[in-house]
Structure 1
Amino acid sequence: MQTKNYSAEAFIEFVGSIYVRAHQWAYDEGHGLFGRVIHQAAIADKHRWKTACEYGCMALLCDELIDVSERRRINRTDKGLFADACASLADRYLEQFLHSVGMAAYPMHDYPKYLASSVEHEFKDHGLLPRMVAKVLARERNNLFSVEDYTNHDNLFRTTAHPMRTFVEWLDRLEHGKAVDPTGYKQQYTLRRRVVALHRVGLAMLSPETWRNGVEA
Protein backbone atom coordinates (compact mmCIF):
# COMPACT_ATOMS: atom_id res chain seq x y z
CA MET A 1 0.00 0.00 0.00
CA GLN A 2 1.41 3.37 -1.04
CA THR A 3 2.12 5.80 1.78
CA LYS A 4 2.46 8.83 -0.51
CA ASN A 5 1.79 10.07 -4.01
CA TYR A 6 4.07 8.55 -6.69
CA SER A 7 3.13 11.00 -9.46
CA ALA A 8 5.66 12.93 -11.53
CA GLU A 9 4.85 16.05 -9.51
CA ALA A 10 5.73 14.18 -6.31
CA PHE A 11 8.96 12.95 -7.90
CA ILE A 12 9.98 16.49 -8.88
CA GLU A 13 9.25 17.69 -5.34
CA PHE A 14 11.29 14.83 -3.89
CA VAL A 15 14.29 15.47 -6.15
CA GLY A 16 14.12 19.22 -5.65
CA SER A 17 13.86 18.85 -1.88
CA ILE A 18 17.24 17.09 -1.85
CA TYR A 19 18.81 20.21 -3.34
CA VAL A 20 16.81 22.60 -1.16
CA ARG A 21 17.74 20.91 2.11
CA ALA A 22 21.39 20.68 1.10
CA HIS A 23 21.63 24.39 0.21
CA GLN A 24 19.41 26.17 2.73
CA TRP A 25 22.31 26.61 5.13
CA ALA A 26 24.44 28.21 2.40
CA TYR A 27 22.13 31.15 1.68
CA ASP A 28 23.89 34.13 0.12
CA GLU A 29 22.25 37.44 -0.84
CA GLY A 30 24.46 37.42 -3.92
CA HIS A 31 22.44 34.53 -5.32
CA GLY A 32 19.44 36.82 -5.75
CA LEU A 33 15.90 35.51 -6.14
CA PHE A 34 16.99 31.90 -6.54
CA GLY A 35 18.85 31.97 -3.23
CA ARG A 36 16.00 33.69 -1.41
CA VAL A 37 13.42 31.19 -2.65
CA ILE A 38 15.59 28.26 -1.56
CA HIS A 39 16.40 29.82 1.82
CA GLN A 40 12.83 30.82 2.72
CA ALA A 41 11.21 27.54 1.71
CA ALA A 42 9.40 25.56 4.39
CA ILE A 43 7.22 22.48 4.00
CA ALA A 44 4.43 24.19 5.93
CA ASP A 45 4.17 26.84 3.19
CA LYS A 46 3.10 24.58 0.33
CA HIS A 47 3.35 27.19 -2.44
CA ARG A 48 6.86 28.37 -1.54
CA TRP A 49 8.01 24.82 -0.90
CA LYS A 50 6.75 23.67 -4.31
CA THR A 51 8.46 26.60 -6.05
CA ALA A 52 11.73 26.00 -4.21
CA CYS A 53 11.65 22.31 -5.10
CA GLU A 54 11.06 23.15 -8.76
CA TYR A 55 14.10 25.45 -8.63
CA GLY A 56 16.13 22.75 -6.90
CA CYS A 57 15.12 20.14 -9.46
CA MET A 58 16.18 22.47 -12.29
CA ALA A 59 19.53 23.09 -10.60
CA LEU A 60 20.16 19.35 -10.49
CA LEU A 61 18.95 19.05 -14.08
CA CYS A 62 21.58 21.61 -15.15
CA ASP A 63 24.28 19.40 -13.64
CA GLU A 64 22.72 16.37 -15.33
CA LEU A 65 22.79 18.10 -18.71
CA ILE A 66 26.54 18.63 -18.42
CA ASP A 67 27.15 15.11 -17.15
CA VAL A 68 25.13 13.52 -19.96
CA SER A 69 26.82 15.75 -22.54
CA GLU A 70 30.25 14.71 -21.28
CA ARG A 71 29.30 11.06 -21.73
CA ARG A 72 28.56 11.61 -25.41
CA ARG A 73 31.19 11.13 -28.10
CA ILE A 74 32.98 14.35 -28.91
CA ASN A 75 31.48 14.57 -32.42
CA ARG A 76 27.85 13.99 -31.42
CA THR A 77 25.34 16.81 -31.74
CA ASP A 78 22.99 18.22 -29.11
CA LYS A 79 20.00 16.34 -30.55
CA GLY A 80 17.97 14.70 -27.77
CA LEU A 81 20.30 15.95 -25.04
CA PHE A 82 17.57 17.45 -22.89
CA ALA A 83 15.44 14.29 -23.09
CA ASP A 84 18.48 12.17 -22.21
CA ALA A 85 19.27 14.41 -19.23
CA CYS A 86 15.70 14.10 -17.93
CA ALA A 87 15.90 10.32 -18.28
CA SER A 88 19.25 10.28 -16.47
CA LEU A 89 17.87 12.43 -13.63
CA ALA A 90 14.86 10.12 -13.27
CA ASP A 91 17.10 7.07 -13.22
CA ARG A 92 19.50 8.61 -10.68
CA TYR A 93 16.81 9.25 -8.06
CA LEU A 94 14.23 6.58 -8.91
CA GLU A 95 15.11 4.03 -6.23
CA GLN A 96 15.37 6.69 -3.51
CA PHE A 97 12.00 8.09 -4.51
CA LEU A 98 10.26 4.71 -4.56
CA HIS A 99 11.69 3.95 -1.13
CA SER A 100 10.43 7.32 0.17
CA VAL A 101 6.86 6.52 -0.92
CA GLY A 102 6.98 3.00 0.47
CA MET A 103 7.12 1.09 -2.80
CA ALA A 104 9.35 -1.86 -3.65
CA ALA A 105 8.40 -2.10 -7.34
CA TYR A 106 7.29 0.15 -10.18
CA PRO A 107 3.66 1.22 -9.76
CA MET A 108 2.99 0.99 -13.51
CA HIS A 109 4.45 -0.32 -16.75
CA ASP A 110 7.29 1.85 -18.14
CA TYR A 111 7.29 3.95 -14.96
CA PRO A 112 10.88 5.25 -15.46
CA LYS A 113 9.97 6.35 -18.98
CA TYR A 114 6.83 8.04 -17.63
CA LEU A 115 8.87 9.98 -15.05
CA ALA A 116 11.50 11.05 -17.58
CA SER A 117 8.85 12.21 -20.04
CA SER A 118 6.99 14.10 -17.31
CA VAL A 119 10.13 15.90 -16.12
CA GLU A 120 10.89 16.87 -19.72
CA HIS A 121 7.34 18.16 -20.24
CA GLU A 122 7.41 20.11 -16.95
CA PHE A 123 10.62 22.01 -17.66
CA LYS A 124 11.08 22.21 -21.44
CA ASP A 125 9.27 25.57 -21.65
CA HIS A 126 10.13 26.86 -18.16
CA GLY A 127 11.47 30.38 -18.55
CA LEU A 128 13.92 30.08 -15.68
CA LEU A 129 15.76 26.97 -16.88
CA PRO A 130 17.66 28.63 -19.77
CA ARG A 131 18.80 31.41 -17.43
CA MET A 132 20.02 28.82 -14.95
CA VAL A 133 21.85 26.97 -17.72
CA ALA A 134 23.51 30.21 -18.85
CA LYS A 135 24.70 30.91 -15.30
CA VAL A 136 26.09 27.39 -14.92
CA LEU A 137 27.90 27.65 -18.26
CA ALA A 138 29.35 31.01 -17.24
CA ARG A 139 30.58 29.50 -13.97
CA GLU A 140 32.16 26.57 -15.79
CA ARG A 141 33.73 28.90 -18.36
CA ASN A 142 35.20 31.06 -15.62
CA ASN A 143 36.77 27.97 -14.05
CA LEU A 144 38.35 26.86 -17.33
CA PHE A 145 39.70 30.13 -18.70
CA SER A 146 41.44 33.20 -17.36
CA VAL A 147 39.41 36.39 -17.09
CA GLU A 148 41.38 37.93 -19.95
CA ASP A 149 39.96 35.28 -22.29
CA TYR A 150 36.38 36.46 -21.94
CA THR A 151 36.49 40.11 -20.89
CA ASN A 152 37.50 43.29 -22.64
CA HIS A 153 38.13 46.73 -21.16
CA ASP A 154 38.19 50.15 -22.74
CA ASN A 155 38.13 53.60 -21.17
CA LEU A 156 34.41 53.47 -20.39
CA PHE A 157 33.10 49.91 -20.42
CA ARG A 158 33.92 46.37 -19.41
CA THR A 159 32.51 43.73 -21.76
CA THR A 160 32.06 40.13 -20.62
CA ALA A 161 31.48 37.59 -23.37
CA HIS A 162 28.53 35.24 -23.19
CA PRO A 163 29.93 31.78 -22.33
CA MET A 164 28.73 30.35 -25.64
CA ARG A 165 30.71 32.99 -27.51
CA THR A 166 33.79 32.09 -25.48
CA PHE A 167 33.37 28.39 -26.31
CA VAL A 168 32.82 29.04 -30.02
CA GLU A 169 35.81 31.36 -30.34
CA TRP A 170 38.13 29.02 -28.41
CA LEU A 171 37.10 25.98 -30.45
CA ASP A 172 37.54 27.93 -33.68
CA ARG A 173 41.02 29.08 -32.67
CA LEU A 174 41.94 25.54 -31.71
CA GLU A 175 40.82 24.16 -35.07
CA HIS A 176 42.59 26.99 -36.90
CA GLY A 177 45.87 26.08 -35.24
CA LYS A 178 45.46 22.34 -35.79
CA ALA A 179 47.58 22.24 -38.96
CA VAL A 180 50.19 24.62 -37.58
CA ASP A 181 50.73 22.86 -34.24
CA PRO A 182 49.31 19.30 -34.30
CA THR A 183 51.17 18.39 -31.11
CA GLY A 184 49.68 21.34 -29.23
CA TYR A 185 46.27 20.42 -30.61
CA LYS A 186 46.54 16.90 -29.20
CA GLN A 187 47.67 18.24 -25.84
CA GLN A 188 44.43 20.23 -25.58
CA TYR A 189 42.27 17.13 -25.92
CA THR A 190 40.99 17.03 -22.32
CA LEU A 191 40.08 20.72 -22.31
CA ARG A 192 38.60 20.44 -25.81
CA ARG A 193 36.36 17.59 -24.72
CA ARG A 194 35.09 19.59 -21.75
CA VAL A 195 34.46 22.72 -23.82
CA VAL A 196 32.65 20.69 -26.49
CA ALA A 197 30.42 19.17 -23.80
CA LEU A 198 29.55 22.60 -22.38
CA HIS A 199 29.03 24.06 -25.85
CA ARG A 200 26.67 21.18 -26.65
CA VAL A 201 24.57 21.98 -23.57
CA GLY A 202 24.30 25.59 -24.70
CA LEU A 203 23.26 24.53 -28.19
CA ALA A 204 20.53 22.35 -26.71
CA MET A 205 19.19 24.85 -24.20
CA LEU A 206 20.01 28.42 -25.29
CA SER A 207 18.79 30.05 -28.49
CA PRO A 208 21.55 31.96 -30.33
CA GLU A 209 19.75 35.30 -29.97
CA THR A 210 20.34 35.06 -26.20
CA TRP A 211 24.12 34.83 -26.59
CA ARG A 212 24.55 38.49 -25.80
CA ASN A 213 27.67 39.90 -24.20
CA GLY A 214 27.36 41.73 -20.91
CA VAL A 215 28.42 45.39 -20.74
CA GLU A 216 29.16 47.30 -17.53
CA ALA A 217 30.12 50.93 -17.11
Structure 2
Amino acid sequence: MKRSKHTHGIQSGEPPASAPMGDTGQSMNTAPSEAARRSGGRLAMSWHFVCHLLAMVIAMMVGMGLFGLALWVFGEPPGYSNLLVEYGLMGAFMAVTMVGWMRFRGHSWWDGGEMSVAMLVPMLAPVALVELGVAVPGFTEGSLMLISHVAMIGGMVALMLYRFERYAHASHGRHGQEAPSPALTSVMPKRRRPSLPDADGYPHPR
Protein backbone atom coordinates (compact mmCIF):
# COMPACT_ATOMS: atom_id res chain seq x y z
CA MET A 1 0.00 0.00 0.00
CA LYS A 2 1.13 3.52 -0.82
CA ARG A 3 0.86 6.04 1.91
CA SER A 4 -0.09 9.53 0.94
CA LYS A 5 2.39 12.18 1.84
CA HIS A 6 1.30 15.23 3.81
CA THR A 7 2.92 18.61 3.75
CA HIS A 8 1.89 20.78 6.67
CA GLY A 9 -1.42 19.03 6.98
CA ILE A 10 -2.33 19.28 3.24
CA GLN A 11 -2.70 16.01 1.37
CA SER A 12 -0.62 15.74 -1.80
CA GLY A 13 -2.57 15.86 -5.03
CA GLU A 14 -5.19 18.29 -3.70
CA PRO A 15 -5.06 21.96 -4.79
CA PRO A 16 -4.34 24.34 -1.96
CA ALA A 17 -7.35 26.22 -0.73
CA SER A 18 -7.38 29.89 -1.63
CA ALA A 19 -7.31 32.31 1.23
CA PRO A 20 -10.50 34.35 1.71
CA MET A 21 -10.26 37.92 0.55
CA GLY A 22 -12.29 39.16 3.48
CA ASP A 23 -13.80 42.63 3.43
CA THR A 24 -11.04 44.17 1.30
CA GLY A 25 -12.51 43.20 -2.05
CA GLN A 26 -16.01 44.11 -0.96
CA SER A 27 -14.92 47.55 0.21
CA MET A 28 -13.03 48.11 -3.06
CA ASN A 29 -16.18 47.31 -5.05
CA THR A 30 -18.42 49.42 -2.80
CA ALA A 31 -16.29 52.57 -2.78
CA PRO A 32 -16.63 53.42 -6.52
CA SER A 33 -20.40 52.81 -6.51
CA GLU A 34 -20.84 54.99 -3.43
CA ALA A 35 -18.80 57.78 -4.99
CA ALA A 36 -20.78 57.51 -8.23
CA ARG A 37 -24.06 57.65 -6.32
CA ARG A 38 -23.01 60.79 -4.47
CA SER A 39 -21.77 62.43 -7.65
CA GLY A 40 -25.03 61.63 -9.42
CA GLY A 41 -26.99 63.06 -6.50
CA ARG A 42 -25.05 66.33 -6.63
CA LEU A 43 -25.58 66.60 -10.38
CA ALA A 44 -29.31 66.00 -9.99
CA MET A 45 -29.59 68.66 -7.28
CA SER A 46 -27.68 71.17 -9.41
CA TRP A 47 -29.93 70.41 -12.37
CA HIS A 48 -33.09 70.94 -10.28
CA PHE A 49 -31.59 74.18 -8.94
CA VAL A 50 -31.00 75.57 -12.44
CA CYS A 51 -34.41 74.41 -13.70
CA HIS A 52 -36.08 76.05 -10.70
CA LEU A 53 -34.36 79.36 -11.46
CA LEU A 54 -35.23 79.22 -15.17
CA ALA A 55 -38.87 78.43 -14.38
CA MET A 56 -39.14 81.46 -12.09
CA VAL A 57 -37.51 83.69 -14.72
CA ILE A 58 -40.02 82.50 -17.33
CA ALA A 59 -42.87 83.19 -14.89
CA MET A 60 -41.52 86.73 -14.37
CA MET A 61 -41.35 87.26 -18.12
CA VAL A 62 -45.04 86.33 -18.28
CA GLY A 63 -45.69 88.95 -15.61
CA MET A 64 -43.78 91.55 -17.61
CA GLY A 65 -45.89 90.70 -20.65
CA LEU A 66 -49.07 91.16 -18.61
CA PHE A 67 -47.72 94.49 -17.39
CA GLY A 68 -47.20 95.67 -20.96
CA LEU A 69 -50.69 94.47 -21.89
CA ALA A 70 -52.18 96.40 -18.97
CA LEU A 71 -50.39 99.56 -20.06
CA TRP A 72 -51.69 99.10 -23.60
CA VAL A 73 -55.29 98.58 -22.45
CA PHE A 74 -55.58 101.04 -19.55
CA GLY A 75 -52.80 103.49 -20.32
CA GLU A 76 -50.12 104.78 -17.97
CA PRO A 77 -51.20 105.33 -14.37
CA PRO A 78 -50.64 108.64 -12.53
CA GLY A 79 -47.02 109.21 -11.55
CA TYR A 80 -45.72 106.75 -14.12
CA SER A 81 -43.05 109.22 -15.20
CA ASN A 82 -41.30 108.51 -11.90
CA LEU A 83 -38.82 105.68 -12.38
CA LEU A 84 -39.62 104.14 -9.01
CA VAL A 85 -43.31 103.95 -9.94
CA GLU A 86 -42.55 102.48 -13.36
CA TYR A 87 -40.14 99.82 -12.14
CA GLY A 88 -42.13 99.22 -8.98
CA LEU A 89 -45.25 98.32 -10.97
CA MET A 90 -43.21 96.17 -13.32
CA GLY A 91 -41.64 94.35 -10.38
CA ALA A 92 -45.03 93.83 -8.76
CA PHE A 93 -46.45 92.15 -11.88
CA MET A 94 -43.36 89.97 -12.14
CA ALA A 95 -43.52 89.03 -8.46
CA VAL A 96 -47.18 88.02 -8.67
CA THR A 97 -46.62 85.54 -11.50
CA MET A 98 -43.43 84.24 -9.89
CA VAL A 99 -45.13 83.63 -6.53
CA GLY A 100 -48.05 81.99 -8.32
CA TRP A 101 -45.65 79.56 -9.96
CA MET A 102 -43.90 78.91 -6.67
CA ARG A 103 -47.21 78.15 -4.99
CA PHE A 104 -48.08 75.79 -7.84
CA ARG A 105 -44.75 74.03 -7.28
CA GLY A 106 -45.59 73.58 -3.61
CA HIS A 107 -43.70 76.42 -1.92
CA SER A 108 -45.19 78.25 1.04
CA TRP A 109 -46.34 81.86 1.09
CA TRP A 110 -43.28 82.62 3.20
CA ASP A 111 -41.01 81.31 0.44
CA GLY A 112 -42.82 83.47 -2.11
CA GLY A 113 -42.54 86.60 0.03
CA GLU A 114 -38.88 85.94 0.75
CA MET A 115 -38.13 85.51 -2.93
CA SER A 116 -40.09 88.65 -3.81
CA VAL A 117 -37.98 90.70 -1.40
CA ALA A 118 -34.77 89.17 -2.79
CA MET A 119 -35.98 90.11 -6.27
CA LEU A 120 -37.39 93.62 -5.75
CA VAL A 121 -34.82 95.16 -3.39
CA PRO A 122 -31.79 94.67 -5.73
CA MET A 123 -33.96 95.67 -8.67
CA LEU A 124 -35.16 98.97 -7.20
CA ALA A 125 -31.84 99.97 -5.60
CA PRO A 126 -30.21 101.21 -8.86
CA VAL A 127 -33.54 102.73 -9.91
CA ALA A 128 -33.59 104.84 -6.76
CA LEU A 129 -30.03 106.01 -7.39
CA VAL A 130 -30.87 107.17 -10.91
CA GLU A 131 -34.16 108.75 -9.86
CA LEU A 132 -32.51 110.68 -7.03
CA GLY A 133 -29.75 111.86 -9.33
CA VAL A 134 -26.89 110.10 -7.56
CA ALA A 135 -23.90 110.08 -9.90
CA VAL A 136 -22.81 106.46 -10.38
CA PRO A 137 -20.63 105.54 -13.38
CA GLY A 138 -22.65 103.56 -15.90
CA PHE A 139 -25.98 104.17 -14.14
CA THR A 140 -28.21 106.06 -16.58
CA GLU A 141 -31.87 105.91 -17.45
CA GLY A 142 -30.98 104.15 -20.69
CA SER A 143 -28.93 101.41 -19.02
CA LEU A 144 -31.28 101.03 -16.07
CA MET A 145 -33.36 98.25 -17.60
CA LEU A 146 -30.36 95.95 -18.00
CA ILE A 147 -28.75 96.86 -14.66
CA SER A 148 -31.94 96.43 -12.66
CA HIS A 149 -32.74 93.03 -14.16
CA VAL A 150 -29.20 91.72 -13.66
CA ALA A 151 -29.37 92.86 -10.03
CA MET A 152 -32.78 91.20 -9.69
CA ILE A 153 -31.53 87.82 -10.95
CA GLY A 154 -28.45 88.14 -8.75
CA GLY A 155 -30.58 88.64 -5.65
CA MET A 156 -32.68 85.60 -6.49
CA VAL A 157 -29.62 83.41 -7.07
CA ALA A 158 -28.11 84.59 -3.78
CA LEU A 159 -31.25 83.58 -1.87
CA MET A 160 -31.48 80.25 -3.66
CA LEU A 161 -27.87 79.46 -2.77
CA TYR A 162 -28.58 80.38 0.84
CA ARG A 163 -31.61 78.05 0.77
CA PHE A 164 -29.93 75.49 -1.46
CA GLU A 165 -31.58 72.44 0.12
CA ARG A 166 -34.98 74.02 -0.47
CA TYR A 167 -34.49 74.89 -4.14
CA ALA A 168 -32.37 71.93 -5.27
CA HIS A 169 -35.10 69.28 -5.12
CA ALA A 170 -37.63 68.33 -7.73
CA SER A 171 -40.74 68.42 -5.51
CA HIS A 172 -41.80 70.53 -2.57
CA GLY A 173 -45.12 69.01 -1.63
CA ARG A 174 -48.41 70.40 -2.90
CA HIS A 175 -50.22 73.63 -2.05
CA GLY A 176 -47.47 74.90 0.21
CA GLN A 177 -47.26 71.82 2.40
CA GLU A 178 -43.79 70.34 2.54
CA ALA A 179 -43.64 66.59 2.29
CA PRO A 180 -42.31 64.93 5.49
CA SER A 181 -38.87 63.41 5.26
CA PRO A 182 -38.48 59.61 5.21
CA ALA A 183 -36.74 59.73 8.59
CA LEU A 184 -39.78 61.49 10.06
CA THR A 185 -42.37 59.24 8.48
CA SER A 186 -40.58 56.16 9.80
CA VAL A 187 -41.17 57.24 13.39
CA MET A 188 -44.64 58.75 12.94
CA PRO A 189 -47.38 56.57 14.44
CA LYS A 190 -49.81 55.11 11.95
CA ARG A 191 -53.46 56.09 12.29
CA ARG A 192 -55.76 53.18 13.02
CA ARG A 193 -59.13 53.02 11.34
CA PRO A 194 -62.16 52.77 13.59
CA SER A 195 -63.54 49.31 14.26
CA LEU A 196 -66.88 48.29 12.77
CA PRO A 197 -69.33 45.91 14.41
CA ASP A 198 -69.46 42.41 12.97
CA ALA A 199 -72.61 40.47 12.18
CA ASP A 200 -72.58 39.04 15.71
CA GLY A 201 -72.25 42.49 17.29
CA TYR A 202 -68.53 42.34 18.12
CA PRO A 203 -66.28 45.04 16.68
CA HIS A 204 -63.53 44.03 14.29
CA PRO A 205 -60.77 46.15 12.69
CA ARG A 206 -61.20 47.29 9.10
Q: Same fold (TM over 0.5)?
A: no
TM-score by length of 1: 0.26
TM-score by length of 2: 0.27
Q: Structure 1 or 2: larger helix share?
A: 1
Which one has a bigger Cα radius of gyration? 2
Q: Which has the higher contact order (CA 8 A, sep 6+)?
A: 1
